[in-house]
């Protein structure tokens, strides 16, 4: 399994009574009141230091993503962070930008250009993430009508992949992007183009796109494998239905992970920061979570059939104590062997070959984050790296310029 250190870049110093005093962590938390640029200057240094440490310690990839107007993860431009990382990751980790929210760019050739720049700058280490984006970002922060979310995404996906592969100049006559001349300089280094990684929360349309275009799919939720099982079963059932193989490297999942010397110590060190994450960083009212029309009828019918609204409500309502968080799989925490065992179980259950390891969580301070990253890299990663080797699949979606540690680390 490939391990990616995925950084959300949260605000680490929200007031203790944040969730009582404010409506939401996203869209409306007042910026002048809550977001101190001097603090953010420090966070950005820490965030990049942490990602660079992960590269040095042998993570397969370092991951960044895009969100807007929030304290949960305010990397409005992941490409800026990826550019910094491209220059400061000598151990050649993959640069996973998961990704650019395609519907927000007009024309979407902006994404084709910036991703191509990153691919070239990193010598072919870019994984190009194409998320649909949250309703908070797309509809509320960027003003895209909910019903245009998916049509814009699909058109942008088409335009960007054409811009990367078709000799320019050519003409693109779309509904949202109408361009007489498409001819980006340069096209990407990786051929035919950087691997495309889709990310989502369980939309049927996204699975169908993954199958049709041979893209990877990463299921991003914070509710763990128990909750994710139904979703990933749905994903694999869809792959079977469409005649796509069961290569586990097609799929990834995000997991919050806390590693310490012992299980007990993990609780002492991390509980506060995990609680901060669930109580403050996920403080989003339902009406912001899904504007009417954001989800299609088809996906909503699937969601209702599989009781996603009920499961989400139940997950949200749970008291987030250490025991519950671990039992429900919201976090995987403990000694290196506890963490490795549970990750293997989860990866096998979901049948996923890519782990987006969330190792900086909520208010977690820099020193503790470095410890978490280091213990994970040194003690956990070697135990989970080869779990799929016996099945003999190749990872067809890994950036070709990135180091392939699965091969060099085969003795572990």
Nearest distance, CB of residue 145 and other proteins, angstroms: 4
Instruction: Kindly tell me which residue out of 91, 92, 123, 147 binds other proteins, with binding defined by CB under 8 A.
Output: 147
Q: Are 239 and 339 in contact (CB under 8 A)?
A: no
Shortest reach from residue 301's CB to other proteins, in Å: 8
| Contact stretch for other proteins (CB under 8 A) within 54-62, 256-264, 293-301, 347-355 | 293-301
27 sits near other proteins (criterion: CB under 8 A): yes
Full DSSP string of 331-359: EEEESHHHHHHHHHHHHHHHT-SEEEEE-
> Sign of the C-alpha dihedral, residues 31, 33, 37, 40?
negative
Determine which residue in the list 46, 130, 140, 197 makes contact with other proteins, applying CB under 8 A: 140
Widest Cα–Cα separation across the chain: 62
| Contact status: 333 vs other proteins (CB under 8 A) | no
Strands 178-182 and 170-173: antiparallel
Termini Cα distance of the chain? 13
Question: Closer to other proteins at the Cβ: 279 or 296?
Answer: 296
Torsions phi, psi for 49 (to 5 deg): -60, -40
Stretch that binds other proteins, among 39-47, 69-77, 138-146, 321-329 (CB under 8 A): 138-146
* Residue from the set 35, 53, 151, 400 that interacts with other proteins by CB under 8 A: 151
Query: Could you tell me the smallest distance in angstroms from the CB atom of residue 101 to other proteins?
Result: 16
Kindly state the helix (H) or strand (E) to which residue 367 belongs, with its residue range: helix 366-375
Does 285 interact with other proteins (rule: CB under 8 A)?
yes
Provide the minimum distance between the beta carbon of 258 and other proteins in the complex, in angstroms, as a whole number. Answer: 34
The one among 143, 167, 192, 243 contacting other proteins by CB under 8 A: 143
Query: Interface with other proteins includes 400 (CB under 8 A)?
Result: no
In the complex, what is the shortest distance from the CB of residue 161 to other proteins, in angstroms, rounded to a whole number? 22
Could you give the CA distance from residue 171 to residue 79 in angstroms, rounded to a whole number?
Answer: 26
Sorted by sequence, the CB contacts under 8 Å of residue 404 that are 6+ apart come out as 398
Least distance (Å) from other proteins to the CB of residue 99? 24
* 270 is a site residue for other proteins (CB under 8 A): no
Tokens of 330: 């919201």
Bridge partners (DSSP) listed for residue 254: 356
* Residue 99 backbone zone (phi > 0: left; psi -120 to 50: alpha; other: beta): beta
Is residue 139 close enough to count as binding other proteins by CB under 8 A?
yes
User: Which of 36, 229, 279, 293 touches other proteins by CB under 8 A?
Assistant: 293
N residues, the chain: 412
Q: How many residues bind other proteins (CB under 8 A)?
A: 25
Please answer whether residues 66 and 75 qualify as being in contact, where contact means their C-beta atoms are separated by less than 8 angstroms: yes
Q: Is residue 187 a contact residue for other proteins (CB under 8 A)?
A: no
In whole angstroms, the minimum distance from the beta carbon of 172 to other proteins comes to 17
Position 291 contacts other proteins (CB under 8 A): yes
Q: Which listed residue (123, 300, 349, 374) binds other proteins by CB under 8 A?
A: 300
CB 350 within 8 A of CB 245: no
CA-only gyration radius of the chain, Å? 20
Sole binder of other proteins in the list 80, 212, 242, 304 (CB under 8 A)? 304
Contact region for other proteins (CB under 8 A) — 190-198, 295-303, 356-364, 403-411? 295-303
What is each CA distance from 406 to 304, 350, 376, in whole angstroms?
40, 21, 16
* Residue placing its CB nearer to other proteins in the complex, 303 or 364: 303
287 binds other proteins (CB under 8 A): yes
Measured CA to CA, the distance from residue 296 to residue 178 in angstroms comes to 25
Within residues 35-94, the interface with other proteins by CB under 8 A covers: none
146 touches other proteins (CB under 8 A):
yes
CA angle 388, 392, 397 (to 5 degrees): 75
Residues that bind other proteins (CB under 8 A): 27, 139-140, 143-148, 151, 175, 285, 287-288, 290-293, 296-297, 300, 303-304, 309-310
């Amino acid at each position: 399994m490939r391990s990616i250190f995925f950084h959300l870049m949260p605000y680490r110093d929200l007031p203790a009574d944040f969730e009582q005093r404010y409506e939401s962590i996203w869209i409306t938390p007042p910026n002048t009141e809550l977001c101190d640029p001097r603090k953010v200057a420090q966070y950005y240094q820490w965030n990049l230091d942490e990602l660079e440490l992960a590269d040095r310690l042998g993570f397969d990839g370092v991951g960044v993503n895009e969100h807007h107007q929030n304290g949960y993860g305010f990397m409005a431009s992941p490409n800026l962070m990826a550019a910094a990382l491209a220059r400061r990751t000598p151990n050649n980790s993959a640069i996973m930008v998961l990704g650019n929210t395609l519907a927000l760019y007009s024309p979407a050739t902006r994404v084709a250009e910036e991703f191509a720049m990153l691919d070239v700058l990193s010598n072919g280490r870019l994984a190009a993430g194409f998320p649909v984006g949250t309703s908070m970002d797309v509809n509320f922060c960027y003003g895209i009508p909910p019903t245009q979310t998916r049509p814009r995404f699909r058109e942008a996906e088409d335009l960007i992949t054409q811009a990367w592969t078709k000799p320019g100049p050519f003409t693109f006559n779309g509904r949202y992007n109408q361009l007489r001349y498409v001819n980006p300089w340069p096209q990407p280094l990786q051929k035919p183009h950087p691997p495309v990684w889709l990310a989502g929360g369980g939309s049927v349309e996204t699975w169908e796109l993954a199958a049709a275009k041979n893209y990877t799919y990463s299921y991003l939720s914070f509710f763990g494998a128990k909750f994710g099982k139904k979703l990933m079963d749905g994903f694999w059932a869809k792959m079977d239905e469409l005649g796509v193989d069961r290569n586990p490297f097609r799929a990834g999942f995000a997991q919050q992970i806390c590693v310490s010397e012992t299980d007990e110590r993990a609780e002492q060190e991390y509980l506060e920061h995990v609680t901060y994450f669930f109580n403050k960083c996920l403080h989003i009212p339902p009406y912001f979570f899904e504007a009417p029309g954001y989800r299609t009828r088809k996906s909503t019918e699937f969601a209702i059939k599989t009781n996603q609204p009920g499961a989400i409500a139940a997950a949200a309502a749970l008291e987030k104590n250490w025991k519950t968080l671990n039992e429900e799989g919201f976090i995987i925490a403990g000694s290196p062997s506890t963490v490795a065992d549970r990750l293997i179980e989860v990866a096998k259950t979901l049948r996923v070959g890519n782990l987006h390891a969330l190792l900086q969580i909520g208010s977690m301070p820099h020193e503790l984050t470095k410890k978490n990253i280091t213990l994970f890299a040194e003690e956990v990663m070697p135990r989970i790296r080869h779990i799929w080797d016996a099945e003999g699949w190749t990872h067809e979606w890994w950036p070709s310029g990135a180091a392939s540690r699965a091969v060099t680390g085969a003795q572990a």
